[in-house]
């Protein structure tokens, strides 16, 4: 390679991404979740989405054994939720949730929530690509998206 991983990461940081929290339950019913900005739509018919999870994530086993997950699209007022699911040990303390069709935790106050059944998993370097079929969705609160750009949270004003 003519570049190192620091340069590669810096180049990728120039692409603004939305911020999500992806949630699931393990076989024992314990909720798990992580902050992810590697989220994308895949297909409208059938309705498919994907996210990528680091193979070193302590949540990986729950996403490998689970048959469902939810994508929770965060608003610019939910930076604390993003930080909690990225760093905190007690991620679920005081977090309001509900469930939809698949039974995985759906976070309250998001711009949108996508309740997904597992469609496929693919090995991809140091990550796993997880593809889900959207079974149910909620269009949540009005507001602006939480963005991540050049290693920092950003916002955008929508008129």
Question: What is this structure's pTM?
Answer: 0.93
Which string of b and e fits 12-45 if b means at least 16 CB within 10 Å? eeeeebbbbbbbbbeeeeeebbbbbbbbeebeee
Q: What is the DSSP string of 127-157?
A: EEEEEEEEEEEEE----PBEEEETTEEEE--
Statement: residue 88 has pLDDT above 90: no
pLDDT, one tens digit per residue, over 90-126 is 899 999 999 999 999 999 999 999 999 999 999 999 9
Q: Is residue 11 part of a domain?
A: no
Q: Is residue 1 part of a domain?
A: no
Determine the Cα angle at 114 with ends 73 and 108, to 5°.
55
Statement: residue 135 has pLDDT above 90: yes
pLDDT of residue 21: 98
Q: Is residue 6 part of a domain?
A: no
Q: Is residue 75 part of a domain?
A: yes
pLDDT, one tens digit per residue, over 6-64 is 898 888 888 889 999 999 999 999 999 999 999 999 999 999 999 999 999 999 999 99
Q: Is residue 4 part of a domain?
A: no
**Bigger pLDDT: 42 or 88?**
42
**Bigger pLDDT: 89 or 30?**
30
pLDDT of residue 35: 97
pLDDT of residue 4: 86
Q: Is residue 50 part of a domain?
A: yes
CATH code of 116's domain: 2.30.110.10
What is the pLDDT averaged over residues 75-97?
Answer: 93
Domain that holds residue 123: 17-147
Q: Is residue 138 part of a domain?
A: yes
Q: Is residue 156 part of a domain?
A: no
How many domains would you assign to the chain? 1
Using alpha carbons, select from 55, 37, 48 the residue that is nearest to residue 120: 48
């Amino acid at each position: 390679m003519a570049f190192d991983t620091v340069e590669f990461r810096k180049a990728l940081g120039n692409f603004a991404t939305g911020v999500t929290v992806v949630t699931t339950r393990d076989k024992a019913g314990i909720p798990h979740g992580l902050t992810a900005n590697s989220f994308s739509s895949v297909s409208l018919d059938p309705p498919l989405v994907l996210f990528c999870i680091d193979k070193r994530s302590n949540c990986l086993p729950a996403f490998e054994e689970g048959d469902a997950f939810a994508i929770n699209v965060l608003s610019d007022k939910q930076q604390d939720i993003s930080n909690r699911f990225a760093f905190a040990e007690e991620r679920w303390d005081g977090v309001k949730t509900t469930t939809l069709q698949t039974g995985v935790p759906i976070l309250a106050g998001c711009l949108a929530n996508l309740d997904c059944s597992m469609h496929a998993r693919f090995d991809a370097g140091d990550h796993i690509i997880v593809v889900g079929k959207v079974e149910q969705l909620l269009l949540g609160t009005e507001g602006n998206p939480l963005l991540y750009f050049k290693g920092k949270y950003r916002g955008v004003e929508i008129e």
